[in-house]
Amino acid sequence: MDAPTYVPGHGLLAGRTAVITAAAGAGIGGATARRFLEEGARIVIGDAHPRRTKETVEALAGEFGADRVDGTSCDVTDEAQVQALYDLAEQRHGGLDVVVNNAGLGGTAELTEMTDEQWDRVIDVTLNGTFRSTRAALRRMRAADRGGVIVNNASVLGWRAQAGQAHYAAAKAGVMALTRCAALEAAPHGIRINAVSPSLAMHPHLAKVTSPELLEELTAREAFGRHAEPWEIANVIVFLASEYSSYMTGETVSVSNQHA
């Protein structure tokens, strides 16, 4: 089955300010940044790669307007850099309405061969980074007292087993649990927190760190016989960030068509 036609924006996020982590490049974060702009949002992006962040901000600002695009390098394992990202959103736009915690790190290693450093690095970026960003966002959203939305990027590996992915799967399962617990704490303040759980969204970085044989095997598991485009995941993130999902919180939405 061929990929569907790209869906145009419908102004679902008009007038809102969104912070998106790991949003420079061709993955889900980059697709989300573009989709949010197409839906009328202002965005502030963070990414651990300074050069790529600068290039992405310049390109999007040239296309959508400099008043709607800001960004700074942000390593989510560094609390000071996380705070700086949110400071930028408040300085430029007076606050924030939506946060997308997209930053994550994968890798492949059998558990018996995995080092403490490999385990710790994946957990620190993928789970602890989501915690740091969520904590910063909630503190500011609660202080502003105008509600808000947080969308976390999990993975079907938070539910399903795959050899060589113990660290990544554990981190993503943690993101799902964090989403549920944080949502209960945030609900009295009118803040919703949900997550997306993609199966296989193809982008250059994934192709670079995954063998062609494994990608072929993973693709074969998909009912449509193809991988997702990053913008297809971003469409669901837009839904969760918009008022179309106003009654949802603490949920993890699977963006997948894997066979049962």
The region that residue 225 occupies, defined by phi over 0 for left and psi between -120 and 50 for alpha, beta otherwise, is: left
Predicted local distance difference test score (pLDDT) of residue 58:
98
Task: Enter the tokens of residue 89.
Answer: 């959103």
Alpha-carbon distance of 33 to 28, in angstroms, equals: 9
Low-confidence stretches of the chain (pLDDT beneath 70): 1, 3, 202-211, 213-215, 217-220, 223, 259-260
For the four alpha carbons of 179, 85, 55 and 129, in that order, the dihedral sign comes to negative
Predicted local distance difference test score (pLDDT) of residue 200:
79
- Spatial strand order of the sheet with 42-47 comes to 69-73, 42-47, 17-21, 98-101, 148-153, 191-198, 252-255
Alpha-carbon distance of 134 to 131, in angstroms, equals: 5
Predicted local distance difference test score (pLDDT) of residue 226:
73
Q: Are strands 191-198 and 252-255 parallel, antiparallel or unpaired?
A: parallel
Per-residue pLDDT tens digits for 165-188: 999 999 999 999 999 999 999 999
Task: Enter the tokens of residue 257.
Answer: 């068509």
Predicted local distance difference test score (pLDDT) of residue 48:
97
Predicted local distance difference test score (pLDDT) of residue 35:
98
Task: Enter the tokens of residue 60.
Answer: 């999007």
Question: What's the Cα-to-Cα distance from 107 to each of 26, 78, 121, 122, rounded to whole Å?
Answer: 18, 21, 10, 8
Which residues have a catalytic role annotated?
Answer: 168
Task: Enter the tokens of residue 116.
Answer: 């403490």
Task: Enter the tokens of residue 132.
Answer: 């740091």
Cβ atoms < 10 Å from Cβ of 197? 25
- pTM to 2 decimal places: 0.93
